[in-house]
Amino acid sequence: MRNLSYKLASLLFLFSILLNPLSGASAADFKREVIYQIITDRFFDGSTSNNNPSQSAGLYDATKTNWRLYWGGDLQGIQQKMSYLAGMGVTAIWISPPVDNLNTNIPDGGGNPTASYHGYQGRDFKRIEEHFGNSGNTWTDFDAMVSAAHAAGIKVVIDFAPNHSTQDNAGEFGSLYDNGTFLGNYTSDTNGYFHHNANISGGGWDDRYQVEYFTLFDLADLNQEHATIDGYMKSAAQLFQQHGVDGFRIDAIKHVTWGWEYSFANSIYTYGDSFIFGEWYQGNTSDPLYHDSYKFANKSGMTMLDFPLNTAIRSVFASNANFSEIDSVINQEATNFTWKEDLVTFIDNHDMARFLSVNNNNNRLHEAMSFVLTARGVPCIYYGTEQYLHNDTSGGTDPYNRPMMPGFSTTTTAYTLTSRLSSLRRSNPAVPYGSMTQRWINNDVYIYERKFFGSTVLVAINKNETSSYSISGLNTSLPVGTQADYLTGLLGGVPITVGSGSGGNNPVNTFTLPAHAVSVWQFTEGTAGPEIGSLGPTVGQPGVKTVIAGRNFGTTTGTVKFGTTTATVNSWTSTQIVVTTPAVTNGNYNVTVTTSGGSVSNGIQFTVLTAKLIPVTFTVYNATPTVTGDYIFLTGNTVELGAWSTTWDGAFGPMLTPNYPDWFITASVPAGQTIQFKFIKIASGGAVTWENGSNHTYTVPTTGTGFVNVNWQY
Ligand code: NOJ
Ligand code: NOJ
């Protein structure tokens, strides 16, 4: 009897997991989300009891006049605003780093007190900041906030900053704690937990070695190659996964050892379903490290914030540049990024002036919002955008881009717009998964089509404030007939009439697009074969679960294949399947879904790793056969090292040479495996030269970090 009721209870539990659309492994499919970025301290003060905690007394400014002190916003405040967020169509929040931060005041140049109210000076990554939670630094408030978010259908992404602890030359001098136990600090770093180099400056911002190993704005630069720091950061991230977070926004990924980050992402995915995007700051696609950025996004398992597109969005909508600027970034990135639909797109954030500080024009803001909410990528809206929040002191840059949320009106146009376009992202798969093609363009008008198999979304934006445009010669894949504006005129949109054409080019009758109008037309395909739109993660070793999302998988379980090998299915719905990566040889595989009725889907690429990843630093001494512009790369016999690839994108590198002619790089390689590797030179013209001799071999440790030093073989 006891046994039976136990079985019944676990069966009910299983059902509740299966039936609850909010639970289960779905974080990996973030393309369907609308993210909302919250500076926790500036959102809402839900509890006054944590405003001036004893261990860090004096960092709170009740008058809200010192922009660099805490103003009272907290996790309870976020929790209390869940229905406001849900009503706006927000399906995920990205909150400030919630970890215990610097406790002391560090006066600025003018002698005014400052505090780490933004969260980017972590001191203990395993406890919650007392100003956001409680003076015991416990998880209580964090857990309650996560539960409330999940109950409201909202996922939680935390900002996580593994690059550094606190300021290295003042305050707590970088002191790092492991759940309350002191680990070390920057000034008496006997264990080597930190990199000790100067601040990144000048040309150093484009130099790979300085970018990764020098100091970012006086912040104590952590040495992720040290097994203690490596283990600390991975276990801290896992702790947040245990406390229910669905994803991570990784701070300053360009400044953390790149090769280490592959193993960090792998550690998160090995533990559980997640979505990881990083902040790789760059102005545009001509940035000297742009190529490194997309190579990283294509290989590491981590996507990134789309800074090049952000620049173009601000330039076009705020500064009135021609739409071709956006169009060319979309096209360039489509060529370079394998997983462009995962890039996180945005108009502004906490590090730049708010859009309305640059151009105080709500029409333009609505147009930019419509763009990010319908273009390819996962849109992220900065808190307060929907309330037209801005403070223009000093041009509205940091810290004036972080005012207190002014109110929570649910009737603004921006609030309604976000809600409607969030619904469209959920109902029409062309928005999260579809291709993006320009259909009509001039300086002021941009018309683009999103398409996923038979589903289509067509968007037209006219950013001219006074002139309408007559649109003729427009073609679309939308079906024949009258198509109504999905926004029902919210931004001045109009219906169109689609005629009959061929090859996905149905002619649209000439129509007038009014001044500052946005029109959205859409068609969602009915029954069709199985269609995969998303895979996440896109890289993992046998045993790691991956989430396949799309449509028409059917309600009866079918099969999923990696190449020709059938994978174990953990769960199956008509839109989402969770599978376990099968034990196949490492390499790239085409993943397909076959329905129970035998229909086969499109394929999507997944990289099967050999084993869990361990960061290993490879040094090759005396590799002299180089001239300026030549680089040494690492290549080897597993997919992690490029499977003997000799191309810039396929091999691991370029390696770094702060002490020429010695070169080094940290790569993430399979735990416990004996790997073979060699170094190659890729000359500036592309010519490849192998070092001589037989392959080097190395057995990767099963835990911690590794180091291997060899001589270039002549
Ligand atoms: C980038 C963050 O977005 C910024 O606000 C922060 O100050 C730096 N990284 C350092 O953590
Ligand atoms: C071909 C290269 O020429 C050689 O040097 C290298 O050892 C092998 N690839 C890898 O087995």
HEC letters along 95-159 = ECCCEEECCCCCCCCCCCCCCCCCCCCEEEEEEECCCCCCCCCCCHHHHHHHHHHHHCCCEEEEE
Q: Do residues 368 and 420 lie in contact, with contact meaning Cβ atoms separated by under 8 Å?
A: no
Measured in Å, residue 252 CA sits from the centre of ligand 1 at: 7
Residue 48 and residue 38: Cα distance in Å, rounded?
Answer: 19
Whether 630 is a known active-site residue: answer no
Most ligand 1 atoms within 8 A of CB, residue of 102, 159, 165, 251 to mutate: 251
Task: For residue 685, count CB atoms less than 10 angstroms from its CB and return exposed for 0-12, middle for 13-18, buried for 19 or more.
Answer: exposed
- 201 Cβ contact list (under 8 Å, min separation 6): none
* 644 ligand 2 Cβ < 6 A: yes
Residue 216, both tokens: 């970012």
Residue 38 CA to ligand 2 centre (angstroms): 51
Residue nearest to atom 11 of ligand 1 (CA): 120
Question: Omega into 661 within 30° of 0, i.e. cis?
Answer: yes
Radius of gyration of the chain (CA): 26
Report which protein residue has its CA nearest ligand 1's atom 7.
120
Angle at 637 between CA 631 and CA 642, to 5 degrees: 50
Q: 586: CA distance to ligand 2 center in Å? A: 19
Q: Is the CB of 161 under 6 A from ligand 1?
A: yes
**Among all chains, which residue has been given the structure tokens 């059917």?**
554
Question: Which residues contact residue 496 at a Cβ distance below 8 angstroms, ignoring those fewer than 6 apart?
Answer: 482, 483, 508, 509, 511, 519, 521
Tell me how far the alpha carbon of residue 370 lies from the centroid of ligand 1, in angstroms.
Answer: 27
Report the alpha-carbon distance of residue 385 to residue 369 in Å, rounded: 9
Q: What is the DSSP string of 39-72?
A: -GGGT----GGGSS-GGGTT-B-TT---TTSB-S
Overall average pLDDT of the 406-411 stretch: 98
Mean pLDDT across the chain:
96
| Residue range 660-673, pLDDT digits in tens | 999 999 999 999 99
Ligand 2 centre from 258 Cα, in Å? 26
DSSP strand pairing (559-562 vs 565-566): antiparallel
* Residue nearest atom 3 of ligand 2, based on CA coordinates: 690
Dig out the tokens for 170 from the structure. 């003042």
Measured in Å, how far apart are the chain's first and last C-alpha atoms? 76
Q: Is the CB of 199 under 6 A from ligand 2?
A: no
Is residue 435 within 8 A of residue 324, CB to CB? The reply is no
**Ligand 1 contact, 141 CB (< 6 A):** no
Q: Give one word for 664, left, alpha or beta, with left for phi > 0 and alpha for psi -120 to 50.
A: beta
Give the mean pLDDT of 554-566.
Answer: 98
* Ligand 2 midpoint to CA 617 (Å): 21
Measured in Å, residue 397 CA sits from the centre of ligand 2 at 53
Q: Cα-flanking dihedrals φ and ψ of residue 470, to 5°?
A: -90, 125
Pick the ligand that lies closest to the CA of residue 695: 2
Please choose, from the candidates 524, 541, 647, the residue with its C-alpha nearest in 3D space to the C-alpha of residue 589. Answer: 541
Give phi and psi for 314, each to the nearest 5.
-70, -40
Query: In this structure, what are the phi and psi dihedrals at residue 526, rounded to the nearest 5 degrees?
Result: -85, -140
Q: Which atom of ligand 1 is nearest to the CA of 217?
A: 10
Pairing of strands 688-690, 613-621: unpaired
Shortest-distance atom of ligand 2 to CA 691: 5
Query: How far apart are alpha carbons 575 and 268 in whole angstroms?
Result: 24
Residue 23 has pLDDT above 60, yes or no: no
Active-site residue flag, 251 = yes
The answer to whether the CB of 678 is under 6 A from ligand 2 is: yes
Q: 100 C-alpha to center of ligand 1: Å?
A: 16
pLDDT level of residue 3 (50, 70, 90 thresholds):
very low
**364 or 626: which leads in pLDDT:** 364
Q: Which atom of ligand 2 is nearest to the CA of 690?
A: 5
Give the amino acid at 601: S
Tens-place pLDDT, residues 180-207: 999 999 999 999 999 999 999 999 999 9
CA dihedral 27→31→33→39, nearest 10 degrees, is 80
The model's pLDDT over 300-333, given as tens digits with 9 standing for 90+, comes to 999 999 999 999 999 999 999 999 999 999 999 9
Confidence of residue 520 (pLDDT cuts 50, 70, 90): very high
Average pLDDT over residues 564-577: 97
Q: Is the peptide bond before 701 cis (omega within 30 degrees of 0)?
A: no
pLDDT of residue 148: 98
Kindly state the helix (H) or strand (E) to which residue 211 belongs, with its residue range. helix 208-213
With the most atoms of ligand 2 within 8 angstroms of its CB, the residue from 646, 678, 680, 712 to mutate is 678
How close is the Cα of 181 to the center of ligand 1, in Å?
26
Grade residue 24 by pLDDT with cuts at 50, 70 and 90.
Answer: very low
Considering all CA atoms of the chain, what is the largest pairwise distance in Å, rounded to the nearest integer?
Answer: 79
Provide the pLDDT confidence category of residue 624 given band limits of 50, 70 and 90: confident
- Predicted pLDDT at 346: 99
- The yes-or-no verdict on residue 6 having pLDDT over 70 is no
* Model pLDDT for residues 434-475, shown as the tens digit of each residue: 999 999 999 999 999 999 999 999 999 999 999 999 999 999
Ligand 2 in reach of 695 Cβ (< 6 A): yes
Query: Is 253 strand, coil or helix?
Result: helix
The ligand with the least distance to the CA atom of 281 is 1
Structure tokens at 603: 């394929």
The answer to whether the bond into 429 is cis (omega within 30° of 0) is: no
Of the chain, the percentage scoring pLDDT greater than 70 comes to: 96
Is any ligand 1 atom within 6 A of the Cβ of residue 252? yes
Beta-carbon contacts of 6 under 8 Å, excluding residues fewer than 6 positions away, are: none
Q: Token digits for 364?
A: 């333009």
SS3 state at 323: coil
Name the residue of 39, 42, 120, 166 whose CB sits within 8 Å of the most ligand 1 atoms, as the mutation to test its pocket.
120
Closest ligand to C-alpha of residue 642 is: 2
Tell me: pLDDT of 2 over 50: no
Q: Which atom of ligand 1 is nearest to the CA of 118?
A: 5
The tokens 């999507």 sit on which residue?
Answer: 604
Strand 35-38 to strand 92-95: parallel, antiparallel, or no bridges (unpaired)?
parallel
- Ligand 2 centre to CA of 300 (Å) is 25
Write the burial class of residue 454 (CB in 10 Å: 0-12 exposed, 13-18 middle, 19+ buried): middle
Atom 6 of ligand 1, nearest CA residue: 120
The structure tokens listed for 627 are 């001239």
Does the beta carbon of 271 sit less than 6 angstroms from any atom of ligand 2? no
- Catalytic position from the list 100, 124, 168, 279: 279
Judge residue 713's burial from the number of C-beta atoms within 10 Å of its C-beta, 0-12 exposed, 13-18 middle, 19 or more buried. middle
Compute, in degrees rounded to 10, the torsion defined by CA atoms 182, 188, 191, 192. Answer: 120
Residue 294 CA to ligand 2 centre (angstroms): 27
- What angle is formed at CA 399 by the lines to CA 395 and CA 400, rounded to 5 degrees? 45
Q: Helix (H, G, I), strand (E, B), or coil: what is residue 12?
A: helix
| Edge-first strand listing for the sheet containing 706-711 | 663-670, 613-621, 706-711
Quick one: average pLDDT of 564-573? 97
Determine the average pLDDT of the residues in 48-72: 98
Q: What are phi and psi of 210, to 5 degrees?
A: -65, -40
Within its chain, how far is the Cα of 260 from the centroid? 17
Q: If you ran DSSP here, which 8-state letter would residue 339 be given? A: T
CB 474 within 8 A of CB 437: no
Measured by CA distance, the residue closest to atom 5 of ligand 2 is 690
Average pLDDT over residues 469-493: 98
Per-residue pLDDT reduced to its tens digit, 206-220:
999 999 999 999 999
Ligand in nearest proximity to the CA of 349: 1
pLDDT at 248: 98
Question: Which uninterrupted H or E stretch holds 436?
Answer: strand 435-441
Q: Is any atom of ligand 1 closer than 6 Å to the C-beta of 279?
A: yes
Ligand nearest, relative to CA of residue 120: 1
Beta carbon of 117 within 6 Å of any ligand 1 atom: no
The answer, yes or no, to whether the previous bond of 537 is cis (omega within 30 of 0) is yes
Burial class (CB in 10 A: 0-12, 13-18, 19+), 175: buried
Going by pLDDT thresholds of 50, 70 and 90, the confidence category of residue 247 is very high
Is any atom of ligand 1 closer than 6 Å to the C-beta of 351? Answer: yes
* Alpha-carbon separation of residue 179 from 13, 138, 468, 469, 565 (angstroms): 32, 10, 61, 61, 43
Lay out the sheet containing 99-101: strands in order across: 99-101, 122-128, 176-178, 181-184
Q: Of the listed 251, 273, 444, 691, which one is catalytic?
A: 251
Poorest-pLDDT segment among 8-22, 217-231, 410-424: 8-22
pLDDT of res. 16:
38
Query: Which ligand is in closest contact with the Cα of 200?
Result: 1
690 lines ligand 2 (CB under 6 A): yes
Beta pairing, strands 35-38 & 378-382: parallel
pLDDT digits (tens, 9 = 90+) for 72-116: 999 999 999 999 999 999 999 999 999 999 999 999 999 999 999
In angstroms, the CA 685 to CA 525 distance is 48
